[in-house]
């Protein structure tokens, strides 16, 4: 089973691609069987295990996949922010999706992901280039909406923008789920906790992860509940295909703090 080796056993990093755009530097760095997408001064954005690009190495991506399992039969997904695309690939591989759209700010990100990080050109996948805050209104309604908008200095403004996050929730189909990779504050609560509690009426769930983030699971409306027992059943059925279990993350699920 893959897993990043201890630091002392890691091979020397090898820079295999670098581009500069109006937002800064993007690098692809290789270390053994892993490739990393990095922004700015070695700020790691994504990790891909090249023998299996749908393998999710980090807990925050696994927590976001767990959030997707809240929906019994998702047919559509919208990703705001691509990174190297391995969460997108995992969802395409393990969920019954027919239509997946990605909105990515930087044109070189999907190009590098396809050229160097094994992002597949799946016929169900459409990638649009532009600012998610501007293009969200042109996206189709969706069953799953993932927000993971990060730069080399932290989360983009959308992670704390009331109207944008409200629009994300309203973009969901009935029964849909909004899944947000949010930074954690020093107290372990998500960044902007007071705003989030007010916006979503405390009706969401959190998964704290070891990378220091908190993944938020927000239902489409206040009548929609999270069935943890059913979530565990879906995880148990999927675990043999994934090669790992999401049970430890399920145990960490908590109501909005």
% of the chain at pLDDT higher than 90? 88
The per-residue pLDDT for 153 is 82
pLDDT of residue 40 exceeding 90, the answer is no
The per-residue pLDDT for 44 is 78
* 230-250 confidence digits (pLDDT tens): 999 999 999 999 999 999 999
pLDDT of residue 5 exceeding 80, the answer is no
pTM of the model: 0.95
Q: What is the mean pLDDT of the chain?
A: 94
pLDDT of residue 7 exceeding 70, the answer is no
Residues contacting residue 149 through CB under 8 Å, at least 6 positions apart = 80, 81, 105, 132, 155, 156, 158, 159
d(CA 161, CA 177): 18
pLDDT of residue 191 exceeding 80, the answer is yes
């Amino acid at each position: 089973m893959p897993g990043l080796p201890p630091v002392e056993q890691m091979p020397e990093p090898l820079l295999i691609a670098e581009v500069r755009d109006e937002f800064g530097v993007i690098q692809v760095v290789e270390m053994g069987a892993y490739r990393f997408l990095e922004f700015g001064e070695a700020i790691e954005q994504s990790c891909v295990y090249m023998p299996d690009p749908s393998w999710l190495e980090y807990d925050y991506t696994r927590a976001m996949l767990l959030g997707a399992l809240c929906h019994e039969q998702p047919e559509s997904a919208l990703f705001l922010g691509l990174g190297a695309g391995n969460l997108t690939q995992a969802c395409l591989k393990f969920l019954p999706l027919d239509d997946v759209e990605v909105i990515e700010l930087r044109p070189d990100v999907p190009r590098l992901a396809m050229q160097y990080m094994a992002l597949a050109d799946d016929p169900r996948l459409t990638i649009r280039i532009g600012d998610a805050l501007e293009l969200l209104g042109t996206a189709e309604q969706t069953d799953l909406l993932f927000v993971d908008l990060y730069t080399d200095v932290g989360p983009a403004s959308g992670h704390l923008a009331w109207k944008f996050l409200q629009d994300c929730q309203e973009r969901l189909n009935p029964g849909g789920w909004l899944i947000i990779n949010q930074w954690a504050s020093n107290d372990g609560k998500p960044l902007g906790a007071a705003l989030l509690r007010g916006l979503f009426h405390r009706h969401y769930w959190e998964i704290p992860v070891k990378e220091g983030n908190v993944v938020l699971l927000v239902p489409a409306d206040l009548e929609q509940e999270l069935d943890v027992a059913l979530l565990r059943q879906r995880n148990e059925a999927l675990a043999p295909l994934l090669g790992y279990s999401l049970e430890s993350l399920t145990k960490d699920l908590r109501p909005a703090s």
